[in-house]
Amino acid sequence: MHYNPYLLLALVPLIGIEYFFYYYELESEALYCRRLWQRLSIPYSEIENITAKAGRIGNFVNICYSGGKKLKIVVETPFTFFDALVSHAPQAESRPAF
């Protein structure tokens, strides 16, 4: 597969912005997400499916919640985040793919 070098150069700043301005925290009652100016709180009881996958850019954790809504999270420590999320939401179907 051949990549356009300009596309790759454009992705680098976007990944940097995501690293500094996207924030995820596992609180006692819900998963708290902040993306730039958007804030989202997902109660653990609404999480239906958790999937972890290694990608080319990074490691992803995909979360399905509230009847089909999806959230994709890029994490540095996938095993730690995945295990912590599964322990907070034991009812969710979980599949690590590392």
What tens digit of pLDDT does each residue of 21-35 get?
A: 778 889 989 999 887
The strand ranges marked E within the chain are 22-26, 30-35, 38-43, 47-54, 59-65, 69-75, 93-97
Q: What pLDDT is stored for residue 30 in this prediction?
A: 94
Tokens 């979980």 sit at which residue? 94
pLDDT at 45: 93
* Residue 32's CATH number: 2.30.29.30
**pLDDT, position 41:** 93
**What range defines the domain where residue 45 resides?**
5-97
User: Domains in the chain: how many in total?
Assistant: 1
User: Who wins on pLDDT, 48 or 9?
Assistant: 48
What would the pLDDT profile of 45-97 be if each residue is shown by its tens digit? 999 999 888 777 778 888 999 888 999 888 877 778 888 999 999 998 887 76
